[in-house]
Structure 1
Amino acid sequence: MSQSRLFLSPPHMSGREQSYISEAFESNYIAPLGPMVDRFEESIRDLTKTPNALALSSATAALHLALRVLGIGNGDIVLASTFTFIGSIAPILYQNAVPFFIDSDTKSWNLDPDLLEEAIHKAPSKPKALILTHLYGQCADLDKIISICDAHGIYLIEDAAESLGTTYKDKQSGTFGTFGIYSFNGNKILTTSGGGMLVSPHKELIDKARFYSTQARNDAPHYEHTEYGYNYRLSNILAAIGVAQMEVLEKRIQKRRQIFEWYHETLEDIQEIAFMPELNNSVGNRWLSTLTFANTSPEKIRLALEEYNIESRPLWKPMHLQPLFKNTLSLENGTSQTLFETGLCLPSGTQMEYDDVLRVCSILKKVII
C-alpha cells in the first residue's frame, strides 16, 4: 500500500475559516467588497506597518495596477528579476512595456545589484521601474538595490508574493519600495485560494489603484467612466479565509523554518548538496526548502521522489530562457541558469512532521549515494 502523498506546499487552514465565512454569509456580503475585505486589509497594514493596503484578486493584478498607476506604458523599460515566476513579468506585457531581465547573485539567489547598475547603463532608454522578486521567501540585497534605484530615479516595486512575513533589518519585505505585492494563491504560506494584496506608503497611489480595480467607476449615482479599469477586487468570502489565515502567520513561518532546519540537519553531511542561502540581516519565511546538487541530476531525484508519491519541483526556469522572451533584453551571468539546471524544491507544507522530512531525505540519499 502506497504512502499518502506529500505535496509541495498544500493549503493549511487555521480552523477559524468556516466561522468567518459563515459570518460573511450571514452579513449577505457575497459579492466583492464587504467587512471581511476591510478586516483583511487591516491585518496586512498591522503586519507590515504600511498605512495603505488593497485586497485584490491576485498578486499579478496587484503588479499590473502598480505599473498602470505609475504611468508605465508603451515602450517603457521595466527592469525585472529573471529568476522568477511568469506572474511577475506578465503585467509588463499587459502595459505594452519592455522587460529587461537581470540575473541573480550567488549569495541570495535574488537579483544581482552589480548587474542592476550595469543594466541601467546598457538600457536603450532610461528604465522606469524595477520589479524585484524576493525568491522562495528570501529577501534580495535591499540596501544596495534601493540605493541604486534612488540614484537613478527608478521606481522600486517589490514582488513579495513568496515572502509574506519575511523581514530585512526587522522590516517586512514588500515595504521598501513605492509598491509591494503579496500573493495568497493556493500554494503560498497563507492562502485565500486565490488573491493578492497591494501595499504602499503613498495613499494617493493606492487610491488610484483602488479606482482602477473597480472598473474605474466615477463618483456618480449611475455608471460614469472617464477611464477604463478592471474587475480586480477580492471577494468578501475569500477575504474571510484571509482573515483567519493571517491569525496564524507567525506559526506558519516558524514551522516552515523548522522544516528547513530538519532538511538541513539531515542532509548537511552530503557535500554535493547546497541549500538556498539567507542574508545575514534578514529572516526569511522559508516558503519552500530549496537546494542544488553538484553532480546528481535534479530530474533524476524528482522522478525518484514521484515513485514514492512525493511531489517536488524544479527551480524556476529563468525568464530570459523562456521561449516567450526569446531576444528580449537581458543581462546574464549564468547564475540563474545554473540554479535551474541543478536545483529542486522539496515538500515544505506546514502540516509535515519530522518523519515526513526523513521520508524525503531517505530517497534523496539513495539516489545520491
Structure 2
Amino acid sequence: DLPTTQDFEDYQRQVIRMLDEAVTWRMTAIFFQVRTTNDAFYQSKLNPYSRYLTGEEGKKPPMDVLRWIIDETHRRGIEFHAWMNPYRVSINGKLSKTDYLDTCDDLNFAKRHPEMVLVDKKGILILNPAHPVVQDHIDASIRELIHDYPVDGIHFDDYFYPYAGLVKGEGDEKEYAAFKTSGMSLEDFRRGQVNGLIKRLHESIKSVNPALRFGMSPFGIWKNKADDPRGSNTHPTCGQCFHQQFADPVAWVEEGTIDYIVPQIYFGFSHDRAPFADLVDWWAGIVKDTAVDLYIGHGPYRLGVEKEYGDPAEVAYQVMYANQYPEVKGNVFFTYNTFIRNDKAKPGVDILKTLLIDEVTP
C-alpha cells in the first residue's frame, strides 16, 4: 500500500494521505505492517530494517519512521496496531533457500540460523514454529517493540504453517520425533506449537502493558461441519485453517489467549461453498459469552472482480448484516489501497464509505 522510503518526502506524503483518508472514513484503528519477513519497520537490535521499508534489508531510513507514524496516527485519534508476521521469512519462492538468505542482512535471525528455516512446497521460507529458539526470538522481538513504541496492540494475520504445506524432509520432523512415541499426531503437535506460542505471547504482552490488545485474523473457516459437528456450514472441499495452517482459533477464543479475533470472511453472500452470512452466524456463536471481541474481516478488494462481488453494494450489505449481532464489535477492511484506487471496486467503495460515515455520525 505504501512506497519505500527511498523517496522519503513522497513516503511521508503517502502516509499522511493514508491517515487523513482514515479520518475521512471515520476509522478508529489501523493495522500497520511492521514485520513482513523476519525484519522490522522500526529501530531494532534483534531484526534488520525491512527491504519493504527502505528498498534494501538492513538499510537505515532517514528517521525513526514507525515512531513518526504512530505519533501522526494518535494525533488523529486513531489506534495504531502493529501487524506482524511471526514466522514468514520470504514472500515467494523465486530464489532457493541459500540464495535468498544471501540477500538478507547479517542481523536477520534466519540468516544466522538457516537450520531453523523451513521450505514450503512453493519454495517460500518460514521460521520453524516448533523450534524453541525461534519461539524465544519471536517473543523477544515483540517484547522489544512494545517496550520501545507506544503501539495500541499486536496483530497477526493468517500466516502460521504455510498454506502450501512443507517439503518433506525440510520441515519440523526432528522436533516432532520426541513427541511421536506418545502417539501424538503431527497435526496435533503443530497446533500445539502455534497455540503454545500464542499463549506465551499473550502473557508477555500483558506483563509489559495490560492495556495492549493482542489479536488474530485467521482464515475465515475453522472446520467444515462435515469434518466436525462444531464446524461451519461450509462445503467439505473448503480449506480449513485447523488443518491447513494448524491454527486453532476456537481454542484461542475459549482459552482467552487473545483479546479479539478478525476472521477473514472474504466470501460473498452468494458464494456457493462458503456463504458470508453462514460464517458470520457461526463466528458470532463461537465468541458468544466469552471475553474475546469479534470483528468481521471484509475483502473490498474483491469488489467488481469476484463473481459474488458483482453487486457494488456487496460489502456494505455485509457490514449491515454483521452489525446486527451484539457479538460483532466492528468491521475490518483489507486493504487500504482499495479505498484510493479508481478501479472496478470504486462504485462499491463509494457505497461502503457512505454507509460507514452515516452509521457513525451522531
Q: Greater RCO between the two (CA within 8 Å, min separation 6)? A: 1
- Which band: TM-score by shorter chain? under 0.3
Greater strand fraction, Structure 1 or Structure 2 = 1
TM-score, reference length from structure 1: 0.26
